[in-house]
Structure 1
């Protein structure tokens, strides 16, 4: 799993990070404050994230790398001359700096001059004009997306609906003089399209687009037409995308690889789609088939003005179970002729998060059966053209007991109105009721409206696995601090609704959906169970200030809240194997260091025999014993620690020590070369690997377990690297050196020569095979591969190398190895199928040495 997470910016301007990578450091020093009147000329805005292994990720920067959303007004009358609000909605990844001296860059499309009357869109005045739908002279610019959303808002002040404001009343059906029809909100979003990807300044991926005209407005946009894989200036692979279009919605129809290897996709009801601004949507924004122009966005409801209880009585926004698969992927046909077919069903739940007067409008779980908009997979049918099998899924609690009750919890509280009755400052009473709705559900864009705690997987109706996940019941939202402060009065109704409903709990959504348990079945019986336990490390002192503050005032109350941001990491894994009526238990515990990087410092595994093994990890901070700016203060050979510190290499394990039943087993350690130049090339490349049979530490530094390198035997010495960080020579503990020669523009090893030093090989011999490999890298043909093999054979047969063990390699750079010739000289050729999977290994006469067959799992 890759790195994911988020961060908040505290009130003091420092970022607070929550991520599955505990070592991340976020730099927002270049996150510029934009000027409100410079909506078309934004300042550069950049976020830099560094992980504990020294990799730096750069996001945003110049305007081309930023997605910017402009609010272009509404269909309602509005004051003239107002500048639109705008915000940067996305900072796109533009560069990665690797510790091995490589740099990957992504370049995005730049602006084009579309209208001769506009010098440059970048400095254009489009965002000062009227909303696009009302303008007949709008510019055409394919980097922008134009959207409109449907909103409805109804305000009532001191109105006696149905002649009374007491007791339970029915509202929301359009009655009352203040009823307002839905209106459109217009947005213009400056999109970001990748143009090419470069490694160390050389382009290896190009993105090609086709312009298309929107059917709903005068704007143009882009669709991805093809992706080219480049080698130098030669296109070695091109993947083509073909689409099916319905109105302004595009479905990927085919994906074609070289050799006419084609993936074909089909979708449910792709010809039967509503207008993008349809009113016929359910509570979560999914199409429910109701009227596109007259369906109630604010569904009829009942409301008790005394208690604040609210209940939706209308059906205008109920989900439609017969439309849940609309537009979803139906079938994938593979180049081999096989296919996968996907079947869906509606979401269901047996509990939901509710807030009512009984709970004083604080959230609780209420038992209730219902459905949620959207779809879940019910089964997947895989076929190879001859045989097929079906994987199906049940989302139920306690399947083993025959239950058919959903394991789902609906996590969102639906409420489209708020009401306040309060004593005003002149002694009278003010009643205020506000109803709001939109065709976009904000929560659906950032979190899931439902979580399932148990899912059972079947193959051809035979149970295979059961999965148990964290959900709202195991990981509810929490409230850390709340302080009530009187402003001027507490004479409000409904008291609990006004006081508590606005309280925002700390979301633990990122903790939900974690795998708690996996049960594996055979013949209906459990044969293995894997159970995970997680922790948020909330007791660690280093995290006590990992929060930001939120203050919200509403009438008589000021809500002061601390929102803590804790990691959520694996604490232990327990494996139970059920063998011949016995349970064999193996447990692994994970321990994390209480410092700013929260590195894993120990794993302890206890086996059924009772024996336990521990692996301890030591990182930079664990062995840093002098000022990080003072290499002379380090015990030799630890001066390289200053380079680690300067390059943020805080999460690279330097020492690994193993114990059995608390007794020392062994220790391994990697040493790096110190350089005053602080060059990344030297910093991150290891020079020696040591092995210890005794636990000996530097006695003069008792505060740390700093290994005494005098007791470590050298297992491997890394003698020589090239300027890309590729290892060119290493020597093992028995004194035997091995040379590795790199070709294909320093990306692939093409020769390994044993028991020789790099300096003993004639440079002309190295140059010959490197040049031939680089030529094959550029041409990528059968002839260039054969030419390289010929040159490699000449290299192997050279008299100066005749007594050495030599292995040579050729490649298709974008598939894999093409040939391996071991010291025996018996060459193996590697052949691939149309899907670029290894099919067989043959000798030079075509005799099959190995053959691979690919079948569906199970």
Structure 2
């Protein structure tokens, strides 16, 4: 009987350790993978993506593209709205990895001796586990305040009351990818390698919490909205209402039988728990630095449909919950779309355990650029199972429209899934074929292997994985020009695996459970090329390593990584890639579990918390060979970790430290407490710091000689005003060494004045109010750039900015005889010359007037709702131009000109001709005959359609159906061809 108890306890506890399990839609799984993946080949995959559209707006670009994610087939997860294995981030989103046991699974147990079975947490444990705090922080004894270093090095004396494993919030929006967490005191820490992002407005910590056992108050923006500022002056708003959130409605069922010792008989039991919690926040609004606004609308939904589901959230040995999950009809009436996933489902002769997740989807309806006559509309359809799919994207701009159609087809027989079989973008057709889609299992199938992928049967285990390892994966793409790419997979193998934190070097041959790319065949319409991929170390063994123990249901493509990959294009040559992995970049020696009271028998594990993972998957070396196996080029890469030895870690609590490093601040401390003895505690240092390229060495092998070039990059290490951008770049070639140093606002305002900052207009670097404004707004542009060339000659460039939009105002350059160096750069402005001045802005930060170093001004007039210049006039100021035209001279008065009005109405060839006529009248104004003028017309989402030079010669730009420039002709679409462009498709 004791054996029965242990089996049940162990199985239930395993549920709680699978933190990134199948508890979310396919799109959310893809976002996490995309935000944490450094290189496709490191995963044994190749990138397959198709761009859909791009719209420049301010200093951002609104774009959509779809990508194929070649993970194995998980039968118990609904396909994405784009079709199985396809995903896209249509606007932006944040999704989190939750680490709280909302469903109380770890409190489920059977005790035959007492006759107690079910889910029985203490009142304190239940309150803690069923409270979801968006901003998490460590629980301490009352009145005790410990620093992070004190927690790390001596948890027994730091007042810790409970475990601390914070949620990770993964994000992907407008080119920013990464994650953020909240440290032990609720301070946000952001991991992003290409920007310094700020999570804004933490507010009251208590107001960020809610109960997962009651309907959530979605109007409370303290829990429903997240704001992020980038370092260009833009603010992004995520969530904020029920429609822009994805909510998990989860159900845990625990049942079985055991032999009751007291009654000497078999006893059956059944228990269950429920919860609802926010899984994802979707981008709803962007406020750009230039005043532009982009807004998204999500389909409105009625959250009341789930109130009955939460009527009772815990039962033990009863008949079950009094209410069930809403029916399809009830969901339809509430306009709610859901996707289903099974986090774990298993059974034995003695028990049955299952967790089901129903995710209320956030379905984007449209995106609008306010005041620009530009909108993107998304159209959907539902299948017979009430699952939603994207049907088309319709772009509307200046009265024109563009349609992108997604043709999804049900494949797989009775248990069909929807597959994207073709995509049509402006008459350009892409078609897709897939592996083994004839007969698929039901969405309730148990037929998965240890990685959670379909094994070709309906029973758990390896099954027929050797045959079905690549089932449903993308096989072929046919491009609009009838070229194609064929993908062939193979079964993965590894030579290393991780078990209980140790590396086992036992060779594991291919077992058929996971697919990786073996080769691809590309046909460009003329020639066919075959590329083969191999995954071998120098000794011939597999370069694969399994990073985690087998845990069914996890994001399986994250399990196997490859440190060496060879890419061989037949008859063309090959490239060898070497990536960092768990061998080259283990969890750092001082980042380890600290076990206190080691005589205790209890085991405290941080399984799954790999603190060096962000360093892995980086390219360490690349070697290029020709078809004769001759080495042509070798590139070596090194990275900056910013970490320091543990004995040098500085305690920042109450310490105004001028020498502290970013590693002293940007970390949190994972803590765990032995539930059987609260004095047995462990901690783990978890940095949140990018791993940035610091050295690149390139060796070219030419005619028996080696030609070497080396670039070394230095970054800021101080925690004060830290950012991920270079402070110095040193380049060494055969000609010598050159150095560029970048000075940012924080270095120029050392006193950190908040207001009334002094201005010194007589020196370089004297704009203190501007520097403080940039710091306050999280704007990180280099203000001064100092260069030393190979001859040890120094030069300087100063960038001045406008106060509100932070766009460049003027560029100054040092004179040839200026005396300066890397430390003495605040030279007199008399030793500089103005390179380019941006004299005047309109209300959207468009440059209306610039002046070059010769003092010649150029005026630009913007049309198409202030998106594109339609006139450039040289040798005149804006005020002079407006006075000649008899118009007022404010920066927005040009908007009343006829040429601007006509451009705003340009929606077809007829209205474009009206604009051309108006531009010709403007050009022929006799008062402007002495000023060289260039005029432009556009198709705003495609490009320029005509340029009329000062000579009067007009160039007409002609595009193909894929919006690619095809021809430039003289004067008209049938005129003389000036230039012609040809394209071939290649992945």
Per-residue CA deviations over 1:501-520 (Å, capped at 9, x if unaligned) read: 66665332222211112222
Q: How does 1:799-810 map to 2 (within 5 A)?
A: 799-810=926-937
Per-residue CA deviations over 1:146-172 (Å, capped at 9, x if unaligned) read: 525274568xxxxxxxxxxxxxxxxxx
What is the aligned partner in structure 2 of residue 735 from structure 1? 855
> Which of 689, 697, 701 matches 2:811?
689
What is the aligned partner in structure 2 of residue 347 from structure 1? 492
Q: How does 1:681-760 map to 2 (within 5 A)?
A: 681=805, 684-693=806-815, 705-760=825-880
Q: How does 1:520-669 map to 2 (within 5 A)?
A: 520-523=624-627, 524-539=629-644, 541-554=661-674, 555=676, 557-595=680-718, 596-598=721-723, 599-609=725-735, 611-636=736-761, 638=767, 639-649=769-779, 651-661=780-790, 663-669=792-798
Given that residues 753 and 807 in structure 1 are in contact (C-alpha distance below 8 angstroms), is that contact kept between their aligned partners in structure 2?
A: yes
Q: 1:662: Cα distance to partner?
A: 7.9
What is the aligned partner in structure 2 of residue 395 from structure 1? 535
Three-state SS of the structure 2 residue aligned to 1:192 is coil
Structure 1, unaligned runs of 5 or more: 113-119, 155-173, 297-315, 356-361, 416-437, 493-497, 675-679
Per-residue CA deviations over 1:538-588 (Å, capped at 9, x if unaligned) read: 137232132222222345643232323332111111011111111111110
Change (3 A) 1:544 1:552: same
Distance (whole Å) between structure 1 residues aligned to residue 304 and residue 832 of structure 2: 64
Is the counterpart of residue 790 in structure 1 residue 917 in structure 2? Answer: yes
Change (3 A) 1:623 1:137: closer
Q: 1:353: Cα distance to partner?
A: 1.6
Higher relative contact order (CA 8 A, sep 6+): 2
Distance (whole Å) between structure 1 residues aligned to residue 193 and residue 364 of structure 2: 27
Distance (whole Å) between structure 2 residues aligned to residue 503 and residue 285 of structure 1: 19
Is the counterpart of residue 230 in structure 1 residue 396 in structure 2? Answer: yes
Change (3 A) 1:39 1:820: same
Given that residues 709 and 732 in structure 2 are in contact (C-alpha distance below 8 angstroms), is that contact kept between their aligned partners in structure 1?
A: yes
What is the aligned partner in structure 2 of residue 23 from structure 1? 196
Q: 1:851: Cα distance to partner?
A: 1.0
Three-state SS of the structure 2 residue aligned to 1:34 is strand
Given that residues 627 and 633 in structure 1 are in contact (C-alpha distance below 8 angstroms), is that contact kept between their aligned partners in structure 2?
A: no
Change (3 A) 1:471 1:68: same
What is the aligned partner in structure 1 of residue 29 from structure 2? none
Is the counterpart of residue 477 in structure 1 residue 587 in structure 2? Answer: yes
> Which of 365, 368, 380 matches 2:507?
368
Q: Which shows bigger deviation, 582-591 or 475-484?
A: 475-484
> Which of 433, 437, 445 matches 1:278?
445
TM-score normalized by the length of structure 2: 0.70
What is the aligned partner in structure 1 of residue 357 from structure 2? 187
> Which of 975, 978, 983 matches 1:846?
975
Distance (whole Å) between structure 1 residues aligned to residue 817 and residue 185 of structure 2: 46
Distance (whole Å) between structure 1 residues aligned to residue 840 and residue 759 of structure 2: 25
Q: 1:607: Cα distance to partner?
A: 0.9
What is the aligned partner in structure 2 of residue 6 from structure 1? 179
Three-state SS of the structure 2 residue aligned to 1:371 is coil
Per-residue CA deviations over 1:771-793 (Å, capped at 9, x if unaligned) read: 121111xx2x2222222222222
> Which of 66, 88, 93 matches 2:245?
66
Change (3 A) 1:23 1:501: closer
Change (3 A) 1:632 1:624: closer
TM-score normalized by the length of structure 1: 0.80
Distance (whole Å) between structure 2 residues aligned to residue 499 and residue 183 of structure 1: 25
Three-state SS of the structure 2 residue aligned to 1:370 is coil
Distance (whole Å) between structure 2 residues aligned to residue 227 and residue 455 of structure 1: 38
Q: 1:38: Cα distance to partner?
A: 3.4
Three-state SS of the structure 2 residue aligned to 1:107 is strand
Per-residue CA deviations over 1:452-485 (Å, capped at 9, x if unaligned) read: 1122222235433222111121122346254433
Q: 1:39: Cα distance to partner?
A: 2.3
Distance (whole Å) between structure 1 residues aligned to residue 282 and residue 328 of structure 2: 33
Three-state SS of the structure 2 residue aligned to 1:724 is coil
Q: 1:230: Cα distance to partner?
A: 1.5
What is the aligned partner in structure 2 of residue 250 from structure 1? 418
Is the counterpart of residue 110 in structure 1 residue 300 in structure 2? Answer: yes
Q: 1:721: Cα distance to partner?
A: 1.2
Distance (whole Å) between structure 2 residues aligned to residue 7 and residue 133 of structure 1: 33
> Which of 528, 532, 547 matches 1:411?
547
Q: 1:704: Cα distance to partner?
A: 7.9
Is the counterpart of residue 94 in structure 1 residue 284 in structure 2? Answer: yes
Q: 1:76: Cα distance to partner?
A: 4.0
Distance (whole Å) between structure 1 residues aligned to residue 946 and residue 955 of structure 2: 6
Q: Which has the larger radius of gyration?
A: 1
What is the aligned partner in structure 2 of residue 144 from structure 1? 337
Three-state SS of the structure 2 residue aligned to 1:760 is helix
Distance (whole Å) between structure 2 residues aligned to residue 818 and residue 16 of structure 1: 46
Q: Which has the higher strand share?
A: 1
Three-state SS of the structure 2 residue aligned to 1:392 is strand
Number of corresponding residues? 743
Change (3 A) 1:593 1:133: closer
Q: 1:818: Cα distance to partner?
A: 0.9
Distance (whole Å) between structure 1 residues aligned to residue 193 and residue 464 of structure 2: 34
Distance (whole Å) between structure 2 residues aligned to residue 96 and residue 202 of structure 1: 14
